[in-house]
Structure 1
């Protein structure tokens, strides 16, 4: 699954010769081989001028130390008003990810505005509140596994659809207080359409509009009938701080995208990694005493295949020179998160899946700095519950080579589009 015609130039210039006006690599919008693309970019350098769809250009960061510097740099911002090409009208309105990176959420806020929007979520997403979800997540997982147990060993099951998807979408919808199954399915479908690189522009705009419409109806309902849910808690926090209604809706929108898509990809990648590494799975299943080995599985899966391959964008508010490369004022910076997890200057044998790797947690799958993902503890908790429960219950045999299964066609989401497997109960679970 090689990337098609990625190179815009065969030569690899010195860092000081790189410029955004001369992109050296064309990112594959279909994401057919993200690890290979990351390695190719790293061969060019830690900062690479790349071309995205519609001839949008950006600096791609491929090394973790450079990413850490830029993610905490005082002269880099998240607000697209600092993006010169966007200000000048050079970014098409139909550009695939434009809606997400321009919607007014804390994702694109800086300084006091970012803190103002982040604080209510911190109050609603404390470690204690996240840990309190454990019994319900265990119950959700157990019910899904009971459903899977009804399939015969000859039946091909897509674990992405039947397991990796319903775990986080059920959790986030219950957190929100969304009880209607049809509404849950619609939110999931709209999110998938919004993140896909192949969704037609009109359909993408309709998907985002549908999500916002659902969030508006949800907030209206919770104002009338408050409940013991995250939406009600956020309404109270936003009202207390006198924050705008559209900022509340935007926050719910952002948390929906991050709350189920990222975890779905994490579970999908980890299941694939374990299915392709039987010896590693056996070691984890045979582990006794000491630390929980499944924590290591989760961190290694996050490192090896970040659920979001890229993070877009940071913008320079003045010229910034890092690693010998100068990012000019107004230029965008893309963090190639998937490459950071396979940085051979940080991780030994970075392409190998090794649960228990002591430095696996040093990945940047959940970001770094002020915009580190607030939902990371919940994603980790869901994975640490779901993965051991699945693998202790079933022997999982791929129905076709998982390495050859098509990937999600997205510049951001990073996971196989399917997980076709056959399931057989482990001996302990046989009747």
Structure 2
């Protein structure tokens, strides 16, 4: 009998995200794809196979546009994450609209532009390192809320011309509320209002005083409808594009730097390989994103036609949705070998991880995220011996979200290393 989304044993996706790796292993034991349920009982296909996930990402009959999902109406109307699923930005656009929106920001994320930013990223990292050192070797520091937050937030906000530190912190706090499964409907609405205020204020200020930043460039592309100018994007697309990139540009990198810092701290033998020059910090990023991705899942891809998942006996029917469990696909032994769950910096092929996606919607800021993370890790572990803070629990809870895969805190002590 063919497995369908009507299967009575459909798995309810764990809102805490506490055991996504275990969930992924169990899903792969059943063929890599099984029926699941989101809040409200919305049926989806859960994918933990790297091969199937990559297939869906690159298949022309899967779309990011939620108009192709019949079960969308089952999601709670005020579920905070629903806004991310429905927003009008390049995240969910397809075809000509996707190309148009992506083209407007591509120039800010080219390999050449990222190389031009590298000295600034290094300067910011070293300034933050000096602040960490000033706290002293006995200070207990949460790397996730300090260094690993401040660096990517500074870089991405600089790109958009958002200089106000209070506004930057408001973005971080309220983005977290929007994606958390512990956020109430009321808190979610308040968080979205705050985000709308911060981004709306930025747009108004840049309209009055444009600069050499991405917000000003997008406003210029928006055009002046009152003056008869044909704009390249709507007002809503302008807002949603800034909303999306500000979120993805800092949150995923912040969380990955946290995961990678933890991996290096817990695996001194692998850290030694880096410090001895046998492998690079770029390799740390690749293997870290494969073994402990900061992306828990991608929501969602929708079938625009019936698509057979070869080798599984499953057909994803038109207007059904698939959720790719990104973190779990990174530990798929079929792709990464029998020790796929081990942090092994000698592993070849880790770069095929799906943390940046694949296909037309591959992350536009992948090169920038790679550079930020590698620079942040190199500066941190070159300057300090990083150790778990004494007396802290070894079991730090994971963020309760379908979006991110990261521990809530990474409490450490930092001892300056001697030269040589």
TM over 0.5: yes
2:52 corresponding residue in structure 1: 66
Aligned to 2:410: 419
Give aligned pairs, total.
Answer: 410
For the 8 Å contact 1:137–1:171, the answer to whether it is kept is yes
What is the aligned partner in structure 2 of residue 350 from structure 1?
340
* Matching residue within 64, 67, 71 for 1:81: 67
Cα pair 1:266 1:302 within 8 Å, conserved: yes
**Residue aligned with 1:107, SS:** coil
Report if aligned partners of 2:386, 2:412 keep a CA contact under 8 Å in 1. yes
Tell me if structure 1 keeps the 8 A contact 2:79–2:188: no
Contact kept, 8 Å, 2:105 with 2:214, in 1: the verdict is no
Give the structure 2 partner of residue 303 of structure 1: 290
Deviations 1:250-269 (A, max 9, x none): 10000011000000111000
Instruction: Check conservation: 2:63, 2:303, Cα contact below 8 A.
Output: yes
Do the aligned residues in 2 keep the contact of 1:25 with 1:41 (CA within 8 Å)? no
> Aligned with 2:398: secondary structure?
coil
Q: Does 1:17 align with 2:3?
A: yes
- 1:241 positional shift: 5.0
Distance 1:177 1:363 in 2: 32
- Residue from 140, 143, 147 that aligns with 1:163: 147
Cα pair distance change 1:61/1:20, threshold 3 Å: farther
1:229 Cα offset (Å): 1.4
Partner residue in 1 for 2:357 = 367
Paired with 2:135 and 2:108, the residues of 1 have a C-alpha distance of: 39
1:336-388 CA deviation, whole Å, 9 max, x = no partner?
A: 11111111001121110012422010101000011000011111010111101
| Residues 23/370 of structure 1: CA separation in 2 closer, same or farther (3 Å cut) | farther
Are residue 246 (structure 1) and residue 233 (structure 2) matched?
no
Return the match for 1:104 from 66, 84, 88: 88
Alpha-carbon distance in 1 for matches of 2:352, 2:196? 35
Counterpart secondary structure, 1:333: strand
Preserved contact between residue 296 and residue 357 of structure 1 (Cα < 8 Å):
no
Q: For residues 377 and 305 of structure 1, do their structure 2 counterparts lie closer, same or farther at Cα, with a shift above 3 Å needed? A: same
- 1:337 pairs with one of 301, 306, 326: 326
Say whether the 8 Å CA contact 1:137–1:385 is kept in structure 2: yes
Q: TM-score, normalised by structure 1?
A: 0.91
Match of 1:312 in 2: 299
Deviation at 1:95, TM superposition (A): 2.6
- Residue of structure 1 in register with 2:227 after alignment: none
The CA deviation at 1:174 is 1.2
Distance 1:370 1:23, change over 3 A: farther
Local SS of the residue matching 2:219: helix
**C-alpha deviation, 1:209, in angstroms:** 2.5
Runs of 5+ consecutive residues of structure 2 not aligned to the other structure: 224-229
What pairs up with 1:171-182 in 2 under 5 angstroms? 171-182=155-166
- After TM superposition, list the pairs within 5 Å mapping 1:109-148 onto structure 2: 109-148=93-132
- Aligned in 2, Cα 1:144/1:21: closer, same or farther, shift over 3 Å? same
- Contact kept, 8 Å, 1:23 with 1:57, in 2: the verdict is no
TM-aligned CA deviation for residue 46 of structure 1: 1.7
Task: Look up the match of 1:286.
Answer: 276
Residue in 2 that maps onto 1:57: 43
Contact 1:168 1:382 in 2 (8 A): yes
Which residue pairs with 1:219 in the alignment? 203
Q: Return 145-154 or 416-425, whichever deviates more.
A: 145-154
Could you say what secondary structure the match of 1:220 adopts? helix
Matched, 1:208 2:204: no
**Contact preservation (8 Å) 1:23, 1:48:** no
CA gap 1:117/1:23 in 2 versus in 1, 3 angstroms: farther
CA distance in structure 2 between the aligned counterparts of 1:300 and 1:214, rounded to whole angstroms:
36
Where do residues 179-190 of structure 1 align in structure 2 (5 Å cutoff)?
179-190=163-174
Please say if residues 5 and 43 of structure 2, whose CA atoms lie closer than 8 Å, have aligned partners that are also in contact.
no
